[in-house]
Amino acid sequence: MSKNMPCLRCGHEMNHIKTEKLQLGQTGWILGDLPNLLAGAMEVDIYTCPNCGKLEFYLAEEAEEELPQKQCPNCGKKHDFDYPKCPFCKYDYGK
Protein backbone atom coordinates (compact mmCIF):
# COMPACT_ATOMS: atom_id res chain seq x y z
CA MET A 1 0.00 0.00 0.00
CA SER A 2 2.86 2.32 -0.78
CA LYS A 3 2.14 5.64 -2.50
CA ASN A 4 4.60 8.15 -3.94
CA MET A 5 4.50 10.65 -1.10
CA PRO A 6 6.66 13.81 -1.15
CA CYS A 7 7.98 15.06 2.18
CA LEU A 8 6.21 18.26 3.23
CA ARG A 9 9.45 19.58 4.76
CA CYS A 10 12.14 18.89 2.14
CA GLY A 11 10.31 17.47 -0.91
CA HIS A 12 12.22 14.14 -0.93
CA GLU A 13 10.15 11.01 -1.60
CA MET A 14 8.96 9.40 1.65
CA ASN A 15 9.10 5.67 2.40
CA HIS A 16 6.15 3.70 3.73
CA ILE A 17 7.27 2.01 6.97
CA LYS A 18 4.15 0.06 7.92
CA THR A 19 0.48 0.19 8.81
CA GLU A 20 -0.12 0.33 12.56
CA LYS A 21 -3.06 0.64 14.96
CA LEU A 22 -2.89 3.67 17.27
CA GLN A 23 -4.80 3.29 20.54
CA LEU A 24 -7.47 5.92 21.15
CA GLY A 25 -8.70 7.07 24.55
CA GLN A 26 -6.85 7.80 27.77
CA THR A 27 -5.96 5.90 30.90
CA GLY A 28 -8.05 7.28 33.73
CA TRP A 29 -7.38 7.57 37.43
CA ILE A 30 -10.58 5.81 38.50
CA LEU A 31 -11.39 3.51 35.56
CA GLY A 32 -7.80 2.69 34.57
CA ASP A 33 -7.48 1.31 31.04
CA LEU A 34 -11.21 0.72 30.50
CA PRO A 35 -11.66 3.98 28.50
CA ASN A 36 -8.84 2.80 26.17
CA LEU A 37 -10.60 -0.49 25.54
CA LEU A 38 -13.90 1.22 24.81
CA ALA A 39 -12.34 3.85 22.52
CA GLY A 40 -10.81 1.35 20.11
CA ALA A 41 -7.92 2.03 17.74
CA MET A 42 -7.26 3.97 14.53
CA GLU A 43 -5.35 2.29 11.70
CA VAL A 44 -2.72 4.56 10.12
CA ASP A 45 -0.05 4.30 7.44
CA ILE A 46 3.33 5.55 8.69
CA TYR A 47 5.75 7.24 6.28
CA THR A 48 9.27 8.53 6.93
CA CYS A 49 11.59 10.79 4.97
CA PRO A 50 15.08 9.28 4.55
CA ASN A 51 16.47 12.76 3.90
CA CYS A 52 15.27 14.82 6.90
CA GLY A 53 13.74 12.19 9.23
CA LYS A 54 10.20 13.61 9.26
CA LEU A 55 7.38 11.15 10.10
CA GLU A 56 3.89 11.44 8.61
CA PHE A 57 0.75 9.56 9.67
CA TYR A 58 -2.16 9.04 7.25
CA LEU A 59 -5.45 7.25 7.79
CA ALA A 60 -5.01 3.78 6.33
CA GLU A 61 -7.06 3.26 3.19
CA GLU A 62 -8.34 -0.14 4.26
CA ALA A 63 -9.42 1.41 7.59
CA GLU A 64 -12.10 3.56 5.99
CA GLU A 65 -14.81 1.12 7.07
CA GLU A 66 -16.93 2.27 9.97
CA LEU A 67 -17.34 0.59 13.33
CA PRO A 68 -20.23 -1.86 13.56
CA GLN A 69 -23.50 -0.11 14.35
CA LYS A 70 -26.34 -0.97 16.69
CA GLN A 71 -29.84 0.41 16.84
CA CYS A 72 -31.10 2.00 20.04
CA PRO A 73 -34.23 0.22 21.33
CA ASN A 74 -35.51 3.51 22.77
CA CYS A 75 -35.17 6.06 19.92
CA GLY A 76 -34.37 3.74 16.98
CA LYS A 77 -31.29 5.65 15.79
CA LYS A 78 -28.11 3.79 14.82
CA HIS A 79 -24.74 4.54 16.41
CA ASP A 80 -21.35 2.89 17.05
CA PHE A 81 -21.73 -0.39 18.95
CA ASP A 82 -19.23 0.52 21.69
CA TYR A 83 -21.20 3.36 23.29
CA PRO A 84 -22.46 2.43 26.79
CA LYS A 85 -25.36 4.89 26.29
CA CYS A 86 -27.20 6.05 23.19
CA PRO A 87 -25.58 9.37 22.15
CA PHE A 88 -28.96 10.69 20.99
CA CYS A 89 -31.46 9.85 23.77
CA LYS A 90 -29.01 8.72 26.52
CA TYR A 91 -30.64 5.28 26.83
CA ASP A 92 -28.41 3.25 29.20
CA TYR A 93 -27.58 -0.24 27.86
CA GLY A 94 -26.27 -1.28 31.28
CA LYS A 95 -29.70 -1.23 32.95
Q: What is the pLDDT of residues 14-30, one digit of tens each?
A: 999 999 888 777 676 77
Task: Give the global pTM.
Answer: 0.52
Residues 39, 52, single domain; the answer is yes
Residue-number span of the structural domain to which 71 is assigned = 65-95
3-state SS of the chain: helix, strand, coil percent to 5? 10, 40, 55
Residues 58, 69, single domain; the answer is no
DSSP 35: H
What is the count of structural domains for the chain?
A: 2
Assess whether pLDDT exceeds 70 at residue 68: yes
CB 33 within 8 A of CB 39: no
Residues 52, 76, single domain; the answer is no
Residues 9, 52, single domain; the answer is yes
Residues 56, 77, single domain; the answer is no
Residues 72, 46, single domain; the answer is no
DSSP 62: G
Residues 40, 75, single domain; the answer is no
